[in-house]
Structure formats: structure tokens, C-alpha cells
């Protein structure tokens, strides 16, 4: 956002049962960050992230426009993180059982996000998948409350997630 408009960013992601949908976020990267059309995993020191974008990501404010996706019924408040179509295709080839995370709606926050930082490698993604599969198998109101409370703590304290 510190390099101009638009401030809202949209991108195609994979939702429940593999259905593609458009996700909304505050833009945290330079406008030309994906000009080559190649899907990349974001790293914590990614040079494509703007100064303001670093703050928005650290505070998780960049995710707020996903409330639109929740209201449209495409996302849940809690569930596995929605990924880019190209990355899902790659992960399904490289990580056993990756497709199982598509059995539920993606979430604004989730068990994997509060237990593991950003995934910047396929190996990190495999670890996050273990948390996602745990959530899918054990999801219930108490677990969702635990995740919601820990998410609020992480957002207020700029840690976790």
C-alpha cells in the first residue's frame, strides 16, 4: 500500500473440495510482485513485501478483507489456510495426503497457523499439513475456541501466526 493503489488485493485460491475462488486481502507486496505469473511461496524476508506490508503482515491486519469471503460462504473463520491453485497442484504431487485438507472450508485462522509460522518451503508445508489434518480430524467447538483465543492473543501481541 505504500506504493499506491489498489489497496485491496485479490487472488484465486483453492477452497473446499478443490473449488477455486477469489480471496481478498490488503495488498502487502509491490504491485509488480507477480508480474512474471509465477506462483511463489512468500518468505519472511521477501523483497517483494513493502514497508507497510511488513507491518500489516506482522499484525495480521492484511487478512481482514477475508471477512468478505466468510460472508460469501467461501471461507470459515477457522480452518486450513487457502493456497494458490499452482501451489496446491505442486503440494499434492510432493506431499502425501495434502488433498485431505480440501475436505473442509479454508479459514481466516487455523490450528496450523497458530502452531507453525509461515511456511516458506515444501517441508514447512508438510509440517503445517500435520496440524491441518489434526484439526480436520478433531474439530469441535472447544478446539475452535482455543484457536480463536490464541489467534486474538497473537494478533494483539504481534506474535505467533
Output the average pLDDT for the chain.
Answer: 85
Q: Rg (Cα) of the chain, in Å, rounded? A: 15
What residue has cell string 493503489?
5
pLDDT for 11 beyond 70:
yes
Per-residue pLDDT band at 82 (split at 50, 70, 90) = very high
pLDDT in tens, 54-70: 777 777 778 889 999 99
Q: Are 28 and 62 in contact (CB under 8 A)?
A: yes
> Residue 14, Cα to own-chain centre: how many angstroms?
11
Higher pLDDT, 23 or 161: 23
The full length of the chain comes to 161
Please report, for the chain, the start and end positions of each structural domain, with discontinuous segments joined by +. 8-157
Give residue 153's pLDDT.
Answer: 87
Cell of 12: 484465486
* Total-model pTM: 0.77
d(CA 14, CA 103): 11
Q: What is the mean pLDDT of residues 129-141?
A: 97
Amino acid at each position: 500500500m505504500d506504493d499506491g493503489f489498489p489497496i485491496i488485493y485479490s487472488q484465486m485460491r483453492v477452497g473446499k473440495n478443490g473449488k477455486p475462488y477469489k480471496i481478498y486481502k490488503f495488498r502487502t507486496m509491490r504491485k509488480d510482485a507477480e508480474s512474471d505469473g509465477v506462483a511463489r511461496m512468500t518468505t519472511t524476508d521477501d523483497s517483494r513485501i513493502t514497508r507497510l506490508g511488513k507491518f500489516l503482515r506482522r499484525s495480521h491486519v492484511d487478512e481482514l478483507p477475508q471477512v468478505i469471503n466468510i460472508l460469501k460462504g467461501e471461507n470459515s473463520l477457522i480452518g486450513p489456510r487457502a493456497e494458490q491453485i499452482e501451489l496446491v497442484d505442486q503440494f499434492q504431487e510432493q506431499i502425501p495426503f495434502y488433498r485431505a485438507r480440501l475436505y473442509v472450508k479454508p479459514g481466516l485462522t487455523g490450528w496450523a497457523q497458530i502452531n507453525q509460522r509461515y511456511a516458506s518451503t515444501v517441508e514447512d508445508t508438510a509440517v503445517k499439513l500435520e496440524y491441518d489434518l489434526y484439526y480436520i480430524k478433531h474439530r469441535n467447538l472447544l478446539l475452535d475456541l482455543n484457536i480463536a483465543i490464541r489467534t486474538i492473543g497473537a494478533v494483539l501481541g504481534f506474535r505467533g501466526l
